[in-house]
Chains A and B, each alone.
Chain A
Amino acid sequence: MSSMTKQVQQRAGLLQGTLDMLILRTLLYGPAHGHQIGKHIQRTTNEFLQMQHGSLYPALHRLEQRGWVVSKWETAPDRNREFKYYRLTEKGRKQLVVEESQWKQMAEAVARVMWPAAEEI
């Protein structure tokens, strides 16, 4: 296994849990197809995540399997072709809240360990 793929995989592992949350958060703006979601995340994270689009699709299908998003092939408003649009469900919305608060808690906990001084100021 090359060191390059290893690095990517490690980052992917870190991402695994959060990718779901990022997708759900992205869909909060409204329905979007896979490519749009991917581009959005890449742009917003300044390409830091080095995410390949591909990894998005299994995640999307997983979310759909759990009932957090629904999908439908629809014609794009600006183009004359169909895309598979994903839409947040009510259940997905609730899940986003849960994941967000969990993430926040964890981030705070990590922050307290990593930068104790900042807390004291």
Chain B
Amino acid sequence: MQWWPIRNRDADLERELRSDLELEEQEHRENGLPPEEAHYAARRALGNIVVIREQAHEAWGWAPFERLQQDVRYALQQLRRSPGFSFVAVMTLALGIGGNTAIFSIVNGVLLNPLRFPQPDQLVSLHESKPNFAEGSISYPNFLDWQKDNRSFASMGLSRRWSFSMTGRGDPEQLQGQFISAGFFAVLGVHPLLGREFAENEVQLHAAPVAIISEGLWRRKFSGSPNILGQNVELDGKSFTIVGVMPADFRLPFLTLSERDVYAPIIQWDNPLLMKRGGGLGFHGTGRLRPDVTMDEARADIERVTRNLADAYPDADRGIGATLVPLKEQIVGEARPFLLVLLGAVAFVLLIACVNVASLLLARAQGREREFAVRTALGASRGRVVRQLLTESLLLGFAAGAVGLGAAFLFAHLAIKALPSALPRTQEIGIDFRVLAFTFAISLVTGTLFGLAPALKTSRTNPQTALKSGGRTSTGAQHRTLSALVVLEMAIALVLLAGAGLMIRSLERLWRVDPGFNAHGVLDFNLSLPPSINNATVSEIRAKLRALDRTFASVPGIQAVSQTWGAIPMGGEDDTVFWRDDQPKPADDQHMRWTLDYIVDSDYLRVMQLPVLRGRFFTAQDDEHSPLVAVVDDVFAHKFFPGQDPIGKSIDLSNPIRKLVIVGVVGHVRQWGLDADDARPLRAQLYIACMQMPDDYIASSPTNTNFMVRYDGDLSAVLAGMRRANRAMSDEQVIWGEQTMESMITDSIASRRFAMMLLGAFAALALLLACIGIYGVMAYFVSQRMQEIGIRMALGGQRKDMLILVLTHGARLAILGIVLGLGSAVALTRLMKSLLFDISATDPAVLSGVSILLVMIALAACMLPARRAASVDPMRALRIE
């Protein structure tokens, strides 16, 4: 439908009607009427020209467009006429829509969008299931058999993280790297920017070292040279030939979607356990399903493979199964519950905003009653009036949507920046088509939602009464609707407050959980040693390690130093099997006892400030020349020596077989985080002295070690001192990956903190909106009841009574809302159970606390209108009439 012929056709119709009028007028004049009367008679005979024109437009088929244009123009006029109202309404809704868009953009980026790999649904994350870990690491030999024997995967890859120290190109540098199997990138469907992946012959034992580097490293260290392929790079003292360059946007599909600077074949890892089936070396797999294979079929298939392996290698593989998780689920699964809770919460905020604006509109509609009465009297149908009002509210909705979109963009960025560790895939969060569609849709729904009730209400007004009363009536029905809206707002605000309250209490309790050590002033860092250490003898290595301890201990501000080679509380897991020396050696690993193991120096006790419950901790004398000793935690003692004193008892370790005498018991440390530790099956803890580790172990990968130190004073000063001391030892020695124990604890509860902060913000927002809502409605009621109040005062009512009158009214609404809200909260907070810690989803203290808070604030909001009622001058109030 084109617009230009409209004017022509309109002019045509106009001319036609005019000629009709003229003929008619002429006839009347010929019948003897005076000209004036003839004119009016003709008009009467023709009928309402506006209606005729509209009907003609209808006949031409463009009436709907025209009506829309008219409605929009009129609505804009109306909104311009009351800029204050329009501003408040748009801002209120923008808050709601912006919040929803922001949270949705996060949900969209993290949960909804497919992973950025070709056919991402075929990608599966692979783990070995072991007695203590559903998602345990896969040993390299087992993986090679999985790869060979399975029938359901098109391809499979294996990898683990490794930190390489690069030397020979300026300052030595620690590179984040990954050991990968052949064909690892092909599984993901990605290809090197330059060169190729590792070939089969390059992943065999004794193959010459090859490496793939990142585009970033290529540009940074090789100045993007086009003949990079075939050049060498020195990693951990070995020379690797570069065969490929990975594009800069490539991310490994693991929890944090990390970038790596360098990739090397797994076989290049000098680890004596690499080719052992029982080795738990932190390798995890990624597979691509054949197109026609389902997850269940793949699971059954890999089960078969692992069963065969258990039969063939009972010593290492008995009891070991497989865990297959869709890759996307693996990455985002943990984020889902709390993102959905947030989405639900922010939807409630929008609902409140809608209710708020609805009550604003309704109160305003009162003032516009005359306007609509006039329009109805002039022939506007009820549908037309409703459409007009809806156009106004939709305009408000879309304006708010536009404002909200901008706010959302900012907000999502800030929120993510504030807490990066809380979420996977944060770099994929943005405003895309789906987010825009979402914003559009909620703006539309919002506009309809808050506009419909007032529109229907207003359009029902009887024009005759409205016109007669001079626009000062207020019907009981209208009051009831407004009251219902306030009650609804209060109820929603209560639900949000309850959610936020529960989160805050959870975090508070979580913070109060004793991790089992003093995290304040503890720093964890890695150290990579010069490549020359690869050629040192074991005793030289031991001497070097001791020297490191001494050197760092002498740095000002450092109070205690310990190397830590096993598990790190909340940082990294490590476990080992053992058996009690007074019991027979079990036939295979699966029947042995499992424990976490911490391989530490004697000063670890001072670093962590662990409590010694019985016996003693290690001393410097517990070294390679003295009898082997062990320290255990109380969980270990209770579990494996129930009712006995473990001191003096012996345990045996395998690999190599050696006997350790338990000399002390220390307090349990929450290895798995403040919240999760109690629920984990593997909690027993065994401490072994570094220097008592076998020679093989000491010599296996001497280039890397990990430290934990206790410091006081300024961290950056301490770090600077350590770097200086480190430099003094060797140019090729690098400190890297330093982080404080406190930040590790904070990170372990980051997603809860994220949820708490946002829920808190949403609840505050809801509270604010609800306050504005109840204030607005009460103020309106007071203004409507001025005369009544005036009469009461004139008849001897006290100011105090008026105050109480209004406050009771407000309190009644608030309490009704709270009762309704409590019912909903009990039903809804259960959905956020997984986010809570040590608190019931219906905790009575939280629920009653937020109820009281809400009543207080509601009453405070009613105070202003109440005082206004109390200060009414009866003479004035009555004279208004």
Contact = CB atoms under 8 A, between A and B. Distances in A.
B55 A58 contact: yes
Nearest to B49: A54
A34 B47 contact: no
B47 A55 contact: yes
A54 B47 contact: yes
Interface string B57-78: 0111100000000000000000
B47 A61 contact: no
Pick the most buried of B24, B49, B56: most chain A CB atoms within 10 A of its CB: B56
A53 B49 CA distance: 10
Given A53-B46, A54-B48, A54-B51, A35 B59 contact: no
B652 interface: no
Nearest to B48: A54
A61 B46 contact: no
Interface in A94-112: none
A55 B20 CA distance: 12
A40 interface: no
Given A57-B17, A61-B56, A52 B47 contact: yes
A65 interface: yes
B193 interface: no
B114 to A, nearest CB: 50
A81 B22 CA distance: 12
A72 B800 CA distance: 80
B56 A35 contact: no
Pick the most buried of A52, A58, A82: most chain B CB atoms within 10 A of its CB: A58
Interface residues of B, number: 23
Interface string A32-72: 01110010000000000000111101110110010000000
Contact of B47 (A33, A53, A62): A53
B295 interface: no
B51 A35 contact: no
A33 B12 CA distance: 13
B23 interface: yes
A54 B52 contact: yes
A84 B16 CA distance: 7
Interface string B647-684: 00000000000000000000000000000000000000
Given A53-B45, A57-B16, A84-B16, A65 B61 contact: yes
A65 B52 contact: no
A58 B56 contact: yes
Interface string A8-43: 000000000000000000000000011100100000
A34 B16 contact: yes
Nearest to A52: B47
A98 B55 CA distance: 25
Q: Helix, strand, loop or mixed for chain A's interface?
A: helix
A35 B55 contact: no
B373 to A, nearest CB: 12
Contact of A33 (B19, B24, B49, B51): B19
A34 B52 CA distance: 13
Contacts of B59: 58-59, 61-62, 65
Contacts of B47: 52-55
Interface string B8-23: 0000110111011001
Interface string B33-48: 0000000000011111
A53 B618 CA distance: 111
Contacts of B44: 52
A35 B19 contact: yes
A98 B297 CA distance: 67
Interface in B395-413: none
B374 to A, nearest CB: 14
Contacts of A59: 59
Contact of B55 (A33, A38, A55): A55
Contacts of B60: 61, 65
Contacts of B16: 34, 57, 84
A59 B58 CA distance: 10
Nearest to A84: B16
Given A58-B55, A58-B59, A65-B60, A52 B17 contact: no
B48 A84 contact: no
A33 B51 CA distance: 20
A6 to B, nearest CB: 12
A96 to B, nearest CB: 19
B24 A57 contact: no
Given A57-B56, A65-B59, A35 B48 contact: no
A54 B54 CA distance: 11
A83 B24 CA distance: 14
Interface in B446-487: none
Nearest to A81: B19
Contact of B19 (A58, A61, A84): A84
Contact of A35 (B13, B20, B58): B20
A1 B523 CA distance: 83
Nearest to A54: B47
Given A61-B13, A62-B59, A54 B46 contact: yes
25 contacts: A33-B19, A34-B16, A52-B45, A52-B46, A53-B24, A53-B45, A54-B46, A54-B52, A55-B55, A57-B13, A57-B20, A57-B52, A57-B56, A58-B52, A58-B58, A58-B59, A61-B13, A61-B59, A62-B59, A65-B59, A65-B61, A81-B19, A82-B19, A83-B19, A84-B12
Given A54-B47, A57-B55, A84-B12, 9 more contacts: A34-B19, A53-B20, A54-B46, A54-B49, A55-B47, A58-B55, A58-B56, A82-B19, A84-B19
Report, nearest first, the 9 A-B pairs whose CB atoms are least far apart.
A54-B47, A52-B47, A58-B55, A62-B59, A54-B52, A61-B59, A58-B56, A35-B23, A35-B20
Interface of B: 12-13, 15-17, 19-20, 23-24, 44-49, 51-52, 55-56, 58-61
